[in-house]
Amino acid sequence: MRFGYRRWPLVVSVLAVLSAVTTPPAQAVDVDPGEYEAAPPGTSLLIGYGLFNWNERFVTRSGSSVSDSHLNTQTGILRPVHFVDIFGITADPQFFLVYGFANNGKLGGADLDDAHGFGDVLLASTFWIINDQEDKRWFGITPFLWLPVGEYDRGQVLNIGENRWRGAIQLGYVEHFAEKWAADFYFDATIYGDNDSFGPGRETLKQDPSYQFQTWLRYYITPEWNVAPGYSGTWGGYTRIRGESDPKLSAEAQSLRLATQYWFTPDLQMETQVRTDVWREGGFQNTFGLNFRLMKVF
């Protein structure tokens, strides 16, 4: 059994949450350990990601599970970065090119059609207010802008693109201490444009701002190799279909992470990260996530 046009009114509220949280490109502004450590102006990075997620549970806003529900996603991201000096402030203009897959999806025993294609393009740049290379302290502000150019089909439950504009502001602080330790703290707020072509009925999907807090604690086993446990919490982002009279839908989560980074050479770093949701309300719960990141410095 698959979701068709006749079944759409029965599941539209659940699908609103799905549309906001299950497309492969990162919906939150996730940050890796050390992301806010600025490189000298003139430095360029080429970063590639492989992100894999196995979601074995769908949780409603009330916290109850929908039986026989699961979804897998696979995402590839190419991210060029270049550091520049702007009136004495270091910045790193960059963009993210995303290609994703969503497959093996079921919701309440009903099959969800697979989706694949290019995701929305993300533009960003951090501006470092504190760039203390000597004491190893950094504080930066990053605006993000998602361009709605990704694959989107209003007749499908799962989509790679969102068919809406999105923007975010993120604050990040990093400090090294006690010789072999470093701590990362990040907070961001995201605002959403309307998707005015949601579902076969061309409904309007609206979403309130969402928020995320992240932290990492890094320990350097050697100068080239560190391990870092981490935490992420997201909240807000209440979603409505049709209008203010509809009940609010949300997708809030708390996640634990473990990352390790290793410099094979002074200009080539590999990161591996595992993650899982320990709590969620609304949407698919990430049972296990596996991320790979390869970074080349020029």
Q: What is the pLDDT of residue 8?
A: 45
Q: Which tokens belong to 33?
A: 């350990």
Question: Which domain, by its residues, includes 266?
Answer: 8-297
Does a structural domain hold residue 2?
A: no
Tell me the per-residue pLDDT of 171-181, one tens digit each, with 9 for 90 and over.
999 999 998 99
199 assigned to some structural domain: yes
Q: How many structural domains comprise the chain?
A: 1
Alpha-carbon distances of 290 from 64, 164, 259, rounded to whole Å? 26, 28, 10
Cβ-proximal residues to 82 (8 Å cutoff; 6+ apart), any chain: 43, 44, 45, 92, 93, 94
CATH of the domain at 60: 2.40.128.130
Residue at 170 is within a domain = yes
Single-letter code of the amino acid located at 81: V
CA distance 239 to 177: 41
pLDDT at 21: 46
Burial class (CB in 10 A: 0-12, 13-18, 19+), 6: exposed
* pTM value surpassing 0.85: yes
- Residue 3 is assigned to a structural domain of this protein: no
CA distance 72 to 75: 10
Question: Over the stretch 114-144, which tens digit does the pLDDT of each residue have?
Answer: 999 999 999 999 999 999 999 999 999 999 9
Within a domain: 281: yes
In a domain, 1, yes or no: no
Which of 200 and 133 is assigned the larger pLDDT? 133
